[in-house]
Amino acid sequence: MVLDVLYFAWVRERIGLGRERVETTAATVADLVAELSAREERYALAFADLKSLRVALDQDLAEFSAPLAGVREVAFFPPMTGG
Amino acid sequence: MAVRVQAEPFDLGAESTAFAAGLRRAGAVVTFTGLVRDNGGALQAMEIEHYPGMTERAIAAMVDEAVTRWSLEDALVIHRYGRLGPQDQIMMVATAAPHRGDAFAAAEFLMDYLKSRAPFWKKELAADGSAWVAAKDEDEAALKRW
């Protein structure tokens, strides 16, 4: 499947881009993270501590164990600081 | 009910007046405004990034819940993004209810949720460098009271 993968805040800065299309067979978010981390050092650095990251699937917050079937957009970002 | 996510400044007085003008059964309007705080006096600017699409969606869901839980007559959230200066207005919340208890509670609920569940990220820029504002444990804990 092909996913739109988005990065925000320091995740975007560490990886060096805000959005990319990723061809993957990953079954879950955690699988996708492992796949990206294996690609290049900058991904591994950005995903080094999953506790300091959040993920949204099609713009809804999700768990790293969540399945990717049917998902089109995945976003990774640090805990939010609105208000 | 209205949610606005915008780069432009807003006029707090005009927004508050317009919000209160159309109400029929409300006896209470609460407004809250968040400003760019400059703790040490060294802040040059704050940059606010957000996730277009998810931001509007997440805030609309919070507003819907607040309206249902506290029987609000109306609610408004305006949140800015982009580059802001010290003491600039970042955001405002307004709630209208028949009685003040519900209007205050709904405004606090919305603020707690906006802090930790609306996809905004703040970066502080100072003369000696820049840093992303870290989320606080107490902000996450604040959600538990609701």
pLDDT for residue A4: 98
Res. B22: pLDDT tops 90: no
CB A46 within 8 A of CB A75: no
Distance, CA of B30 to CA of B39 (rounded, Å): 26
Tens-digit pLDDT profile for residues A21-66: 999 999 999 999 999 999 999 999 999 999 999 999 999 999 999 9
Tens-digit pLDDT profile for residues B49-102: 999 999 999 999 999 999 999 999 999 999 999 999 999 999 999 999 999 999
Distance, CA of B12 to CA of B31 (rounded, Å): 9
pLDDT for residue B5: 98
Q: How far is A81 from chain B (nearest CA, A)?
A: 5
* The total number of residues written for chain A in this structure: 83
Tokens matching residue B26? 């409300």
Res. B40: pLDDT tops 80: no
Contacts of B133 (CB under 8 A, 6+ apart): A81, B121, B122, B123, B124
Distance, CA of A65 to CA of B3 (rounded, Å): 31
Q: Do B119 and A79 touch (CB under 8 A)?
A: no
CA distances from A76 to A52, A60, A79, B21 (A): 10, 11, 10, 41
Beta bridge partners of B120: B50
Res. B135: pLDDT tops 90: yes
Interface of B with A in 7-26 (CB under 8 A): none
B8: helix, strand or coil? coil
Q: How far is B132 from chain A (nearest CA, A)?
A: 7
pLDDT band at residue A80, thresholds of 50, 70 and 90? very high
Distance, CA of B118 to CA of B121 (rounded, Å): 9
Tokens matching residue A24? 């993957």
Class (C level, CATH) for B2-145: alpha beta
- Give me the CATH topology for the region A2-77: Ubiquitin-like (UB roll) (3.10.20)
Nearest C-alpha neighbor of A82 from the set B139, B107, B144: B139
Residues of A with CB under 8 A from a CB of B: 6, 8-10, 12, 56, 59-61, 75, 77-83
Domain ranges of chain A: 2-77
pLDDT for residue A22: 98
- pTM for the whole structure: 0.95
- Strand arrangement of the beta sheet that strand A2-7 belongs to: A19-23, A2-7, A73-77, A54-57, A60-62
Nearest CB partner across the interface for B120, out of A10, A56, A82: A82
Residue of B nearest to A56 (CA): B54
pLDDT band at residue B41, thresholds of 50, 70 and 90? confident
- N-term to C-term CA, chain A: 36
Residue of B nearest to A9 (CA): B121
